[in-house]
A = this chain, B = another copy of it.
Amino acid sequence: MCTNVAIIGGSMTKFGQRDAWIRELLAEAGEKCLRDAGVPPSTIDHVYISNMASGEFEGRTGVMNALAHDLGLLPAYSQRIDQTSASGGAGMYGAWQSIASGASEMTLLVGGEKMTHTDTATSTDVIASITHPDEYKHGATLPSFAGLTARTYLDRFDAARESLAKVAVKNHANGVDNPKAQFRKRIDVETVLESPIIADPLRLYDFCPVSDGSAALLFCPESVAKEYTDEYAVVSGISGATDTHVVHERADPTTMRAVEAAGSNAFRMADLTPDDIDVAELHDMFTILELLQMEALDFAETGTAWKHIEDGRTQRGGELPINTSGGLKSKGHPLGASGIAQGYEIYEQLLGKAGARQVTAETGLTCNLGGFGNCATAAIMEAK
């Protein structure tokens, strides 16, 4: 790259069931991000939106042009980036590229999704259309992949079912302290284990909710960042990778190859190792995924991540706090927003702005998944 890429602002809306359309949600996070950073709209060169399906969910396209218009950013260049549920992470990679290439000196990234107004059949169909049609027609949706994978993991590594429940318990506990989280409700292991079965062995509380919301981050060269603030984060490593589109073609269902590739590329670029990471936001759309990502990112040896849940290493007081924001599990998962909201949590942690959720952190990592790990993005951020 030509230049170090900094993040000098961030925001997110309240996640949950929102009485606002996608255009309003994007404008809310984008406007707040600019205002908090003290950056006037006229300085924005590029505005990128991360969004999977405004057309399918709401019958609206062209929302990136609407956002540029609504925030008074004209003639800033706008585009939409889609990488299904990893659209936010893909947006971070795209925004990084826009700055690192010299194409832009100030890029506003806003991601969002409006989903709660749709009926279950519609949202299931849209989300299932991410996967291969030959798998979907046999009933293999994302939750069913999660169930099959969880069963394989528990059997192969003789892991405790309770450890999956404890991922949800931990993330809900964190969400209690996040005013923007969809659920601010403490749960216990019994809450999970006594909830309805969705895809055996996984139950309702192993899954993230359907959500509305948006989040934003503001990217610029580090040299420009210093004109606006003394406190910013730098993106020192960022990458993305794919795994098979047909999930059953994977040699090992418990190995997330896209996460492995994206993570190792990001660590190499940042010249850091997993031991250097102080805090991480992982894509806990299903509890099992938090364990698989810990192993694919080398935060834990293969087959051992569940033990780290048991011993409290990933709790807020632990050595490697994971999903201090509450994660997708309790914060919510408006698809296009999630990867950016992960970046926003790390940004807040690095700058000491995380309030009751604050941990000690100089370096953080985000990992965002598309499909059932069909694509993954990873970003490493450092405080400056």
Residues of chain A having any CB pair with chain B under 8 Å: 1-2, 52-53, 55-56, 59-62, 64-66, 68-70, 73-84, 90, 93-94, 96-103, 125-126, 129-133, 238-246, 257-258, 261-262, 370-371, 374-375, 377
Residues from chain B with Cβ under 8 Å of A97 in the complex: 94, 97-98, 101, 103
Roughly how many angstroms separate A258 CA and B68 CA in the complex, as a whole number? Answer: 12
Q: A79-B90, A131-B62 are in contact. Are A1 and B242 (CB under 8 A)?
A: no
Q: Write the chain B residue with the least CB distance to A257.
A: B75
B68-A242 in contact (CB<8A)? yes
Q: A53-B55, A65-B374, A101-B96 are in contact. Are A77 and B242 (CB under 8 A)?
A: yes
- Would you give the shortest CB distance from A54 to chain B, in whole angstroms? 9
Roughly how many angstroms separate A379 CA and B82 CA in the complex, as a whole number? Answer: 23
A65-B2 in contact (CB<8A)? no
Mind listing 10 A-B residue pairs with CB under 8 Å?
A1-B101, A61-B130, A62-B131, A68-B245, A74-B257, A75-B258, A77-B239, A78-B83, A80-B82, A81-B82
Residues from chain B with Cβ under 8 Å of A1 in the complex: 2, 101-103
Q: Write the chain B residue with the least CB distance to A80.
A: B82
Q: A61-B126, A62-B371, A62-B374 are in contact. Are A81 and B83 (CB under 8 A)?
A: no
Roughly how many angstroms separate A288 CA and B18 CA in the complex, as a whole number? Answer: 42
Name the residue in A90, A262, A371 with the highest tally of chain B Cβ atoms < 10 Å from its Cβ. A90
Roughly how many angstroms separate A243 CA and B125 CA in the complex, as a whole number? Answer: 34
Q: A55-B56, A60-B129, A77-B240 are in contact. Are A65 and B101 (CB under 8 A)?
A: no
